[in-house]
Amino acid sequence: MKDLTIELEDRPGALAEMGEALGRAGVSVEGGGVFVTNGVGVAHFLFHDGLAASAALAAAGIRVVAEREVLVQKLRQDEPGQLGKIARRMAEAGVNIEVQYSDHDHNLILVVDDLARGRAVSEQWMRESRT
């Protein structure tokens, strides 16, 4: 899975144009969101095929700023505080969570500054949650 950072204009129809470009290319969004800050739309969306998504967006004149691998984490929804616990573990390992959102299967998606260390924390978390 890949997270794409996408720059969108802050105007009506910009998100629609992005969605239409992806639809024409047969590319599905698996999760993410978009926010406007200081007059610029910044989107983070999750794709199975980041290359196909990037190509579709570029063809529509939509700027892809970055493509990054993600950590996909299942949290126990019946236990409050799960986000705080996994975030604390990442922090203690020196991993900065740069982007966090959920996918359409209710998984936690994390884009981190150190994928190797983040992956180690995530894998340990998953081993512990199976017991």
Q: What is the pLDDT of residues 16-70, one digit of tens each?
A: 999 999 999 999 999 999 999 999 999 999 999 999 999 999 999 999 999 999 9
Place of tokens 């924390």: 121
Q: What is the pLDDT of residues 41-52, one digit of tens each?
A: 999 999 999 999
Contacts of 59 (CB under 8 A, 6+ apart): 21, 25
Cα–Cα nearest to 31, from 4, 52, 55: 4
Please give the Cα distance from 78 to 130 (Å, whole number). Answer: 15
Residue 10 — pLDDT band, cuts 50, 70, 90? Answer: very high
The single residue listed with the structure tokens 């986000």 is 83
Model confidence at 2: pLDDT above 60: yes
Judge if pTM exceeds 0.85: yes
Domains and CATH numbers, the chain: 2-69 (3.30.2130.10), 71-129 (3.30.70)
* Residue 79 backbone class (left: φ over 0; alpha: ψ -120 to 50; beta: rest): beta
